[in-house]
Structure 1
Amino acid sequence: MSQDFHLSISLQKLYIFLQAPITSKMAVNYYKYQAEQLVRNYLLPNPVLPYTSLLVGIILCKMAYDLTHVLSSYYFKCYPSLTKIQRIEWNNRGMSSAHAVYITSVSIYLVFFNNMFADQLDGPVTLRCSNFSTFTLGVSVGYFIVDLVLIFWLYPSLGGKEFVVHHSLSLVAIAYTMLSGEGQLYTYMVLISEATTPEINLRWFLDTAGMKKSTAYLINGLLMFFAWLVARICLFIYLFYHMYLHYDQIEKMHIFGYILVFLVPIVLFGMNLVWFGKILKGIKKTLAKKK
């Protein structure tokens, strides 16, 4: 049957539904179901969804980069005096902060507040996905591609080998789970760690603006410490525990996905521990200077 036929049937059902006496709860549930069906069947066809979302991600990154440049030129007196490389990094960090806020918000929603990955549902949790979750991953893939291009273009000004390893692993893992639909839950758990990115970027902004000795710099350092502890240490421990409980479901994944599910979190967790040690040293030095 054609999509037009299905759409006409849906409209007829909606008309009949509107004629019947209903409760407000029934109405909300019905409209939610119809909206999901409309998006699933007509607005986001699966064959083009990953590539469309990737393109959207690249376009949004360009917009965030340019918007950071425009706003910084007007509101930050130090910005025009920066070198060309510093301005590029400033704009790039604005772009990465925008991506971090977006992907962290969606990840927290899907992992903790949406029932798509709930244990009560039938089927392996490692094989569940939706158009919305796939689209969001595509946007993130677009960001990591743009950021990697900038890193290689200005290497090592925007980051050294550790950034290349981190971004390359993230890109491969996110791209795979976007295209295959496997392991999206664990991908989103790892992506919650992007919650630390705005604090890291703000630290660089304050330092570049000559505010390293300010109270704002100290407060941001403490926020970065707690965000890192929760999102990159405690959450990863919970992730490993969840993987242990659902290992029988992980075994149902393709061999490449199976390897990624274990390899990427382990490597990233090791890097997180090393960086966390550096954060602790930085906070100790800052507090010692304040005293």
Structure 2
Amino acid sequence: MTLLPKQTVLAIKSYQNQAQMLVKNYLLADPFIPYTSILVGILACKVAYDLTQLISSFYVKTYPGLTKIQRVEWNNRGVSTIHATFVSALSLYFVFWSDLFSDQQLADLVVFRSSPLSTFVLGVSVGYFLSDLGMILWLFPSLGGIEYVIHHSFSGIAVAYSMFTGEAQLYTYMVLISEVTTPEINMRWYLDTAGMKRSNAYLINGVVIFFVWLIARVLLFGYMFYHVYLHYNQVIKMHTFGYVLVFGVPLVLATMNLMWFSKIIKGLVKTVAKMQLRI
């Protein structure tokens, strides 16, 4: 084994120290975190899209036979699944396990609490919403109708505001927990596209969607509005735009969630009926 010359080792260590200083003093410095995290989110979406395409080409037999737009949507749903898993896991952590937004922390008002990590995660999510909204508009309406444009626009604006100002990050994370339903929705589309609509996996997936949607997009929104009610004396101290977002965006999303939930119930009932007829 050949050892590197001492000067080369020192040069490598010097470059490493400079890179660490760059990341610490600029890329992850508080003023730059929002912009760095958005860029990370956009780049992560690109990497996730390419990885989904590469893995699917080798390991999914039905993938090569899909149309061009189906392959684009297949890859795009891979990106949304990865983002949803990432942001919903961290949202659950911040809302239910982290001390950051705990009522026991009396140092400052809960609606104004934030941390470098909580801001960074929101920035990554903003990067995702920008990337996905761009693809939806570019290929409109192949990847989704106007309801997806409305959903991503409202979500992106609310998350970006919370990220840049540090206001209402707790409520932003409560809403982002609803992303836990995205992997199940995407799996349903994958099963349908792969010709497995009549399989038991499709039925199980439908049942899982029903319960996860009920908890994350119906009951949890009710809990969020109740939390706002209990802390209304803090909410009214926010900037007017933030105050409007706290009430307006969740209300719009909750309405859309209920509309989609009614469709989920109808679809589940039809699927169960068809399975019983085959039996």
Q: Measure the CA separation in 2 of the matches of 1:142 and 1:195.
A: 18
Q: Which residue of 1 aligns with 2:85?
A: 101
Kindly indicate whether the alpha-carbon contact (under 8 Å) linking 1:134 and 1:178 is maintained by their aligned counterparts in 2. Answer: yes
Scaled by the length of structure 1, what TM-score is found?
A: 0.85
Instruction: Write out aligned runs for 1:13-52 (5 A).
Output: 44-52=28-36
2:139 aligned with 1:154: yes
Kindly indicate whether the alpha-carbon contact (under 8 Å) linking 2:28 and 2:36 is maintained by their aligned counterparts in 1. Answer: no
Instruction: Write out aligned runs for 1:164-175 (5 A).
Output: 164-175=149-160
Q: Measure the CA separation in 2 of the matches of 1:177 and 1:190.
A: 12
Q: Measure the CA separation in 1 of the matches of 2:233 and 2:113.
A: 15
Q: Measure the CA separation in 2 of the matches of 1:224 and 1:284.
A: 13
Instruction: Write out aligned runs for 1:69-84 (5 A).
Output: 69-84=53-68
Scaled by the length of structure 2, what TM-score is found?
A: 0.89
Secondary structure class of the residue paired with 1:115: coil
Root-mean-square deviation (Å): 1.2
Secondary structure class of the residue paired with 1:196: helix
Q: Which residue of 2 aligns with 1:276?
A: 261
Q: Which residue of 1 aligns with 2:192?
A: 207
Instruction: Write out aligned runs for 1:174-213 (5 A).
Output: 174-213=159-198
Deviation at 1:210, TM superposition (A): 0.3
Kindly indicate whether the alpha-carbon contact (under 8 Å) linking 1:40 and 1:131 is maintained by their aligned counterparts in 2. Answer: no
Kindly indicate whether the alpha-carbon contact (under 8 Å) linking 2:27 and 2:36 is maintained by their aligned counterparts in 1. Answer: no
Secondary structure class of the residue paired with 1:116: coil
Q: Measure the CA separation in 2 of the matches of 1:43 and 1:273.
A: 40
Gaps of 5+ in 2: 1-22
Gaps of 5+ in 1: 1-38
Amino acid at match of 2:148: F
Q: Measure the CA separation in 1 of the matches of 2:57 and 2:210.
A: 30
Q: Measure the CA separation in 2 of the matches of 1:260 and 1:187.
A: 10
Secondary structure class of the residue paired with 1:157: coil
Q: Which residue of 1 aligns with 2:100?
A: 116
**Structure 1 residues 41, 109: closer, same or farther in 2, change over 3 A?**
farther
Q: Which residue of 2 aligns with 1:6?
A: none
Q: Deviations over 1:190-236 (max 9, x none)?
A: 00000000000000000000000001101111111111000000100
2:271 aligned with 1:286: yes
Q: Measure the CA separation in 2 of the matches of 1:41 and 1:57.
A: 20
Q: Measure the CA separation in 2 of the matches of 1:43 and 1:233.
A: 38
Task: Give the fraction of aligned pairs with identical amino acids, expressed as a percent.
Answer: 64
Q: Which residue of 2 aligns with 1:86?
A: 70
Amino acid at match of 1:96: S
Q: 1:237 aligns with which of 214, 222, 236?
A: 222
